[in-house]
Each structure stands twice: as C-alpha cells, then as structure tokens.
Structure 1
Amino acid sequence: MFKRRTLTTALAAATLLVATSSFAQFAERTIKFTNGVNEDHPVGLGVKKMQEVLNAKTGGKIKINAFWGGAAGGDLPATQALRAGTQEMVCTSSSPLVGIVKELGAFDLPFLFANEKEADAVLDGPAGAYFNKKLEAVGLINLAYWENGFRNLTNSKRPVNKAEDFDGIKLRVMQNNIFLDTFKTLGTNAVPMAFGEVFTALETRTIDGQENPFVTIETSKFNEVQKYLSVTRHAYTPFLILYSKKLWDQLNPQEQAVLREAAMEGQKVERAANRALNEKSLVSLKAKGMMVNDISPAEQRRMFEKVKPVYDRSIPAIGNEAVSTVLDALKKARGG
C-alpha cells in the first residue's frame, strides 16, 4: 500500500513538473487591451478567442485585460501610449492612424474593394505586410488585420440609386480629408462631426444623413431618425490589432509567436462574426421600417468614375508606393 501511494504521488509530481516545465518559457503577464467598441461587438468575440488560445498555449500565464467602449480613452491616445511603451495593445481602425502612418490612407480611398474576399486577399498578403513594416517603423507591431467592414449611406431625403442622388445631401462624415473630398466630389454637403453628436444632429435635421456599417447603424438606432438606407459599400476599413514595439521587444520569441497565433485565431472568429452580424443587422433594419435599396453594378461604376479624381488628389498625401501596392494586390486578387 505504501509503495502504491508513493508511486501515485511520484506520478502526480512528475505530471505537474511536465505541465509546469512546458509553460516555463512564458512569464506571468497581464496585457492591457483597449478599444472603442462595446464587448458585444464582434471584436469582443475575437478577444475571447485570443484569451482561449493564450490559456491553452501558456497555461494561463498570459492574460488580456480588456477595456471596452473607450473606457480607457480614445484609440489615438491609446496608440500613442503604445508608441511610448506605457500600454501593450489596442484595437483601432486604420483611419485614425493616418496621422501617424500616412500610407494607411490608402484604405480610405472610395470604392476600393468590391467585397470582403478582395479585402482579405489584400490585407493578408504582401500588401498587408508592407503596411506592417510602416507601422513597425513608428513603434507599432500589427499582429493581425480584423474587420470594421463596409460603410453604407443613410439619409432622410431620398434613396440614393445613382450618382446624381448624392446632390445636396448634408452628410456627416469623419474628420478625414479623403472622406471629405469623396463626398464633396459626389455632390454632398459634407460636414465633419464627432460621432457622439450624430444622432441628435439627424434628429433635429441639422444634417440629412451619415455613413457607417450596418451594425453601427442599428446599434446607434439611426433607423429611428433616418428613412433611407442605400447599400453603397463606398469604403471598407480594417481593424488593426496593435502591440507596443517597445514592449514587444521585451518578449521572448515564444511569447511573440503565441501572441501572433492568438491574434490570427481571433481574426477568423471576429471576421466571421462581423459578417454574420452585418447581414443580421441589415435584415433587422428592414424589419424596423428603413427603406433599403441596392445599387446596380453599372451605377457603382459610375460612382467610381466620378470619384476617380480623389485618387489623384490623395496620392501626394498617401504616397504613390502605398497606393500602387494596394492597387497591384487588388489586381492580382481579381485575377489580373
């Protein structure tokens, strides 16, 4: 009996030793991760998947402490904190980063991608790697491209079926030079405005419309103050999962590898959830009474032709190399 008990104890100790030694390359770490969306957004599912991977691969040694809905500040201040080495991670869309990496403005160009498949091919290929190098040069490591998605137009005046229907619509846009130029070129009265002010401005008819992904339109309840939803798909913006290079360089190769793996596994979950939720939101917005119209491929081409000058005007600010990198990758994705 004593020998059996001793053997059992020895086996348990050996098992514990193996389990402990298999995670010995990982230090105990709690990573601060901030973003501007709420936890019920698809990004929340992506972060949950990341933590599952980290639990399995590090024995729970690396943990994510996520702050939702901008609770720890905006995306741009957080990004600057990453550059300073005072915070580990942030999830942010590409647009706010243009002031840091001008080349990311390429993703703000109008009617760039026709669908998610094209966006995935460009972002997950050599073009995405090109932008990752630009980010690393300013102190940011991009672990993966997640998805914010396609933006679409709502307004209270009329359906937008053709290029001429944009004329005279007073439209809220982000404080972004390419977005402003795009919608002015399309004929709208483009008004830059903070997102938090948009609902009231729509409700009081200070502005006629706005543009955002379906999920944002529904969760922001814009359907209560907007009648028309036109599926323009005029812009696609990715989310970037950024890590501070200063803090990244303090990690060992195994820790770096597991964080990249976790972010890529999170990407699969977040993209799938975002696409499913966007379709669900579109159905819901129709059920709530919004008048939804698709735009014919011929009219999409007319809209693109109308905004082509925006590309030419934007190249000096973005850089010809960045624009060419994206357009060449897009041509390849389309079989060209």
Structure 2
Amino acid sequence: MKLNSILRLALVSGLCLGIAQQAAAQSAKVLNLGFVGRSTAPEGIAMQAFADEIKAKTNGRIEIRLHPGGALGGDREVLEGLQLGTVDLTVPSTSVIANFVPEVQVFDIPFLFRDFDHAQAVLDGPVGQEMLAKFKAKGLQGLAFGGIGFRQLTNSRRPVNGPEDVKGLKIRTQENQIHLQVWRALGALPTPMALPEVFTALQQGVVDGQENPIGAILNNKFGQVQKYLTLTNHAFTPVGFVMAPRAFEALSADDQKLFLEAARRAMQICKEEVAKVEKTGVDALRQQGLQVVEKVDTAKFQEMLKGAFTELGKRFGEATLARIRDQK
C-alpha cells in the first residue's frame, strides 16, 4: 500500500509538473526577429546568441523566434513591419535604415573607417549613441549598432584593378542614396535591389556585379555566379539592431535593460564571427573559381571621389566627419 501511494504521488507530481511546463510554454511572450542574412552568417549567429541569452535570463518568459534569409521580407519591408508592429526585431544594414533615419547615411561614406575596431568604437561611442536616439522619432527603437565587415566588389565581366575598370559595370547596390552617388561618380551603373533578389539577377545577367562583405558573398553563394573579386574595402557595413517601439515599451524596465545589454553583446559576437569568416573567406571564394585582385590602389578610387567627398562633407558637416575620423 505504501509503495502504491508513493507511485501515485510521483505520478500526480509528474502530471502537475508537465501541466506547469506546458502552461509556461503557452504563456511565453514570443517576439519575431526577421532579417535577410542566413542563419550561418555572422549576424545570424549573433541573433541566435541573443535569442538564447534572452530565453535563459528570462527563464523562458520571452522567446525570440528567428526568421532568417528574408523569410519576412527584405530589410525595408521588415523595418516597415516594425513601424506597423507586425514584426518585433530586425538587424538590417544602416544603408537601408537610412531610408527611415537619414542621418545614419554618414556611416556609408567610402573610406571613412580605418578598420573594424575603429568603426565599432564610433558606433559604440557618442556619435553612435546620438544616432540611435534619433530612431524613436521615426517609429523605431534602436538597441545597438554593430557591423558585418568591409564591402568588396565582385563581377562577371572583367578584373577590376582600378576605378577605370568600374566604368560601365551594372552593379547591384543597396537602396541607399550615398551608394548610388558614389558608384555613379566612378562611372558604374548602380541598380538598387533587395538582397534576396540578387543571386537570380546575377545569374540572369540583369546586373554584372555586386558589392558586399566577404561573409555575405559566401553565405549568399554569389561566388557561383561571379568570376572576379576585388578587395576594395571601399565601405564599412554597419548594422543596426532595431526593435518595434510597441514591443520594447511592453517590456518591464528590467527586461528593457536586459535587451539593450544582450543586443550590445550580440553585436560583439557578430564582430568576432566576421573576423573568423574573413580569415578563410577569400581563399574559399578563390577555390570556387573566382579570380581575386588583392592589391588595390585605393588612392585612385579616392581621387575620383573627391567631388563626392566635398559634397558629403557639406551635407553631414565636416565637424561630424572629423569626430568619426578622430575616434580612438
């Protein structure tokens, strides 16, 4: 009898625990995080780390559900979803955020950053924080800035050894006015296009080339439809970790603090993943058959962009550009 009682008690306890766990799972707040990168890309790995940290530190109260690969749409569509409250989080490049918060376009100026450490110091520093503060007025909540590396040029027509080789190339760009201005100044024919459409456009010859960090070139398999890679390092690619204001304001003060801190840590993880990819990425693309131009006279590119630089200095203010360049 005593044994039967113990067994019945264990069974009831197990049932209660299962019911409690099921109820907890059902009551968890689910937030949807959509982004165009793949789950294996640096930002995808960083977003998974963010989701894991939020789940662990809230004991499962909050679940971040990832939707990589443009499953919820391109960067612009997802940002519009944040404004409407139909998507909760995203991590697009600032080139696309600039369509909503024009001031962040300053980060897209070519040859502005010395290296990734310099860029991250600016993004984490006063200039970056001032930029994040501007998001709220545009119906967005900025959490943190990070980056996915410097942009490189690929194409299917010819090796690009200098700016003269860019002339006439149809190059896919992000939906960003500075990128368009810069490529036109170099004599290219820039074509704005959402990332999920680029592979097919390259494959079908709608565009000759594209420019992206090494990790994005690999993860989107552009090496399969391109012949030449030039390590131009022409522009850094910052990303903004952005949240729907409605979703952020629904969090408690403690959870808001957790999200901000976890977002900053996720951006550091992204930086570390970019470094890993860039150590082996060029060789991987070379093995896929791409001809790689490693030594580029960037001074020639900058010389051709002098007029654009003067105009951009007037637009954003030389003082702002000096603050960025002088950041230690």
Q: Look up the SS of the partner of 1:110 in the other structure.
A: coil
How far off its partner does 1:306 sit? 1.6
Partners of 1:271 and 1:147 lie apart in 2 by 6
- Give the corresponding residue for 1:320: 316
Q: Look up the SS of the partner of 2:240 in the other structure.
A: strand
How far off its partner does 1:290 sit? 1.4
Q: Look up the SS of the partner of 1:92 in the other structure.
A: coil
- Are 2:199 and 1:176 equivalent residues in the alignment? no
How far off its partner does 1:205 sit? 4.4
**Distance 1:88-1:208 versus aligned 2 partners, 3 A rule:** closer
- Give the corresponding residue for 1:303: 301
**Unaligned runs of at least 5 residues, structure 1:** 1-26
Q: Look up the SS of the partner of 1:143 in the other structure.
A: strand
> Which of 315, 324, 327 is 1:329 aligned to?
324
Partners of 2:203 and 2:51 lie apart in 1 by 40
Give the TM-score, by structure 1 length. Answer: 0.81
- Give the corresponding residue for 1:268: 268
- Give the corresponding residue for 1:10: none
* CA deviation profile, 1:109-138 (whole Å, cap 9, x unmatched): 122223111111111111100111111222
Q: Look up the SS of the partner of 1:234 in the other structure.
A: coil
- Give the corresponding residue for 1:31: 31
How far off its partner does 1:98 sit? 1.7
Partners of 2:131 and 2:36 lie apart in 1 by 22
Q: Within 5 A, what are the aligned runs for 1:63-212?
A: 63-212=63-212
Partners of 1:76 and 1:204 lie apart in 2 by 24
**Distance 1:52-1:214 versus aligned 2 partners, 3 A rule:** same
How far off its partner does 1:197 sit? 4.7
Further displaced range: 278-287 or 213-222: 213-222
Count of matched residue positions in the alignment of Structure 1 and Structure 2: 302
Q: Look up the SS of the partner of 1:330 in the other structure.
A: helix
Partners of 1:88 and 1:207 lie apart in 2 by 33
How far off its partner does 1:148 sit? 2.6
Further displaced range: 54-63 or 178-187: 54-63
Further displaced range: 196-205 or 41-50: 196-205
Coordinate RMSD, CA, aligned:
2.4
Partners of 1:59 and 1:191 lie apart in 2 by 46
- Are 2:288 and 1:288 equivalent residues in the alignment? yes
Partners of 1:202 and 1:254 lie apart in 2 by 47
How far off its partner does 1:157 sit? 3.4
* CA deviation profile, 1:128-168 (whole Å, cap 9, x unmatched): 00111111222322212132321111123332222323233
- Are 2:215 and 1:215 equivalent residues in the alignment? yes
Partners of 1:103 and 1:324 lie apart in 2 by 14
Matched-pair contact (CA < 8 Å) for 2:74–2:195: no
Matched-pair contact (CA < 8 Å) for 1:168–1:187: yes
Matched-pair contact (CA < 8 Å) for 2:214–2:278: yes
- Are 2:55 and 1:55 equivalent residues in the alignment? yes
Partners of 2:93 and 2:311 lie apart in 1 by 23
Q: Look up the SS of the partner of 1:43 in the other structure.
A: helix
Partners of 2:173 and 2:44 lie apart in 1 by 26
* CA deviation profile, 1:272-302 (whole Å, cap 9, x unmatched): 1122123322110112221112234xx2122
- Give the corresponding residue for 2:11: none
Partner amino acid for 1:210? Q
Matched-pair contact (CA < 8 Å) for 2:132–2:144: no
How far off its partner does 1:189 sit? 3.1
Further displaced range: 162-171 or 142-151: 162-171
- Give the corresponding residue for 1:24: none
Taking every aligned residue pair, what percent have the same amino acid on both sides? Answer: 33
Further displaced range: 206-215 or 270-279: 206-215
Matched-pair contact (CA < 8 Å) for 1:122–1:326: no
* CA deviation profile, 1:169-189 (whole Å, cap 9, x unmatched): 333333432212211211223
**Unaligned runs of at least 5 residues, structure 2:** 1-26
- Give the corresponding residue for 1:9: none
Partners of 1:231 and 1:78 lie apart in 2 by 30
